[in-house]
Amino acid sequence: MSHWWLIPAGCCASFVLTGLLRKYALARQLIDVPNTRSSHTVATPRGGGGAIVFTFLVALMILFQMELISTGSFSALGGAGALVALVGFIDDHGHIAARWRLAGHFLAGIWVLFWVGGMPVLSLFGFILESGWITTTLALFYLVWVLNLYNFMDGIDGLASVEAICACLGICVLYWVTGHGDLVWPPLLLAVSVTGFLIWNFPPAKIFMGDAGSGFLGIVLGVFSLQAAWASPDFFWAWLILLGVFIVDSTFTLIRRLARGEKIYQAHRSHAYQFAARQFGHHLPVTLAVGAINLFWLVPLAFCVVRFRMDGAMVLCIAYAPLLVLALKFHAGERERQADFR
C-alpha cells in the first residue's frame, strides 16, 4: 500500500485545523496584543501550533500502525511531544511559572533518552566521545536547549515554520541519498504538518504558533537528531548544521544577556532576527533570508558531512562562522535601545 497519500492529507488537515483554531482563539480572546517587547504591531490570535501537534501525532500513529517506525521512535516522539505541547497549551491559556515549565521540559528530555537509548558514540575533531552518563547528561541539556531556543526564535511571522520545513526537507534529502530512506517519513510528515500551518502564518501572519507549537517543534527536532545519530553519527552533525541559524542566534543572545546579569526567562526582543526585522521594517525579508541561508549554505554543508564523510565538527565551525558574523552585525544580545521601542 502506498503511503504517499499521507502528504496531501497531512497538509490539508493542518491547514483546516489551523483555521478552526484561529476561530477558537478569537472566540476565547487568546490574542497576542503588541507591547514594547513584541515584534508585531497588530493584535493576532495565537495557539495555531496545536494544528501541527495534532496532525503530526496522528501521522505518527499511522506510521506506527504501518510499521514504518519502531516502538522506541514512536514512544520518544509521541510521549515527549505530547508532554511539551500540553505544558505549552496550558501556558498559552494562562501562565505556568518558569521553573515548572522547565521541570516539564527536563521530564520530556529524560523520557526521550530512555526510549532512544542515550547518546551514541560521536567523533569530535578526531576524538571519540564514548557513550556514557556524561554524554547522556549533555544530551539531556541539549534537548532542553533546542526545545527552548525554538520558543525564543518564534518571534516573527513564518520564521519558526520556515526553519522547521527547511531542516526537515533538507535532512530527508540527505537520508535518501545516503541509503537511509527508512528515516525519511517522520521528518517529512512534520514538514507537511508545518506547511499547512504556514499558509496561515506566512507574513503577514493571521495566527501565531504559540508555546505549544514552538516547544513541540523544538523537542521533536531534537529527538530526530538523536535518533539519526544512532543510525550514523554524521547525521547528528548534519542536524546541528541545519538548525544553525536558530542555534547561533539564540545561544549568542543568551550568552550576552547572561553576561549582563539579565533574567533570561523574561520576554525581550534582542535576538538578531528581531533587530533585523525592525531594521527592514518587515518580517518577510528576514524569514525569506533564513530560508535562503538554509537552502544555499547549510544544506550543502550538511550534505558534505554525510556524503563525503567530512569531519562533522569542522564543517559545523565553517557553517556557523558567517552566522556568527550576521549575529554580530544585527546586534544579537545587545541591550535594546530606546529607539527600538516603537
With pLDDT > 70 as the criterion, what percentage of the chain qualifies? Answer: 96
Q: Across residues 209-233, what is the average pLDDT?
A: 96
Residues 14-20: what's their mean pLDDT? 98
Question: Is position 59 within any domain?
Answer: yes
Q: Residue 184: which domain range?
A: 6-244
Is the pLDDT confidence value at 341 over 50?
no
Q: Tell me what the mean pLDDT of segment 205-232 comes to.
A: 96
Per-residue pLDDT, 342: 37
Half-sphere exposure of 198 (CA within 13 A, CB side): 20
Give pLDDT, residue 176.
Answer: 96
Mean pLDDT of the chain: 92
Give me the pLDDT at residue 296, please: 98
152 lies in some domain: yes
Q: Is 69 in contact with 186 (CB distance < 8 Å)?
A: yes
Assigned C-alpha cell, 84:
511539551
Average pLDDT estimate for 70-98: 93
Task: Please check the confidence at residue 40 and state whether its pLDDT lies above 90.
Answer: no
| pLDDT over 90, % of the chain | 81
> pLDDT category, 33, cuts 50, 70, 90?
confident
Q: How confident is residue 337, by pLDDT bands cut at 50, 70 and 90?
A: low
pLDDT score, position 75 = 98
pLDDT band at 39 (very low <50, low <70, confident <90, very high): low
What is the model's pLDDT at position 80? Answer: 98
Q: What pairs with residue 29 in β-bridges?
A: none
Q: What is the C-alpha radius of gyration for the chain, rounded to an integer number of angstroms?
A: 19
Confidence at residue 36, expressed as pLDDT on a 0 to 100 scale? 55
Tell me if 284 is assigned to some domain: no
Of 46, 61, 78, 63, the closest CA to residue 214 belongs to: 46
For residue 153, give the nearest of 254, 85, 222, 67 by alpha carbon: 254
Q: Which pLDDT score, from 0 to 100, does residue 17 have?
A: 98
Domain presence at residue 281: no
Region 115-143: mean pLDDT is 90
Sequence length of the chain is 342
pLDDT of residue 37: 58
pTM recorded for the entire structure: 0.95
The tens digit of pLDDT for each residue in 247-266 reads 999 999 999 999 988 877 77
Find residue 129's DSSP bridge partners: 122
How many domains is the chain partitioned into structurally?
A: 1
**Model confidence pLDDT, tens digit, residues 41-54:** 677 899 999 999 99
CA gap 79, 65 in Å, rounded: 16
Q: What is the pLDDT of residue 129?
A: 83
pLDDT of residue 293: 98
290 domain-assigned = no
Q: Which three cell numbers stand for residue 131?
A: 557513550
Say which amino acid occupies 123: S
Section 136-158 average pLDDT: 95
* 140, part of any domain: yes
Q: b/e for 115-143, b at 16 or more Cβ within 10 A?
A: bbebbbebeeeeeeeeeeeebeeebbebb
Q: Which residues contact 331 (CB under 8 A, 6 or more apart)?
A: 270, 272, 275
Range scoring the smallest mean pLDDT among 182-196, 250-264, 281-295: 250-264
- Report d(CA 293, CA 328) in Å as an integer: 16
Q: Which residue has the cell 539519526?
A: 228
93 — pLDDT class (breaks 50, 70, 90): confident
Average pLDDT for 223-243: 97
47 within some domain = yes
Q: Which residues pair with 127 in a beta bridge?
A: 124
Q: How far apart are CA 250 and CA 268, in angstroms?
A: 12
Quick check: 201 and 21 in contact, CB under 8 A?
no
What's the confidence (pLDDT) of residue 127?
Answer: 83
pLDDT at res. 308: 94
> Is there a domain that residue 78 lies in?
yes
Higher pLDDT: 342 or 51? It is 51
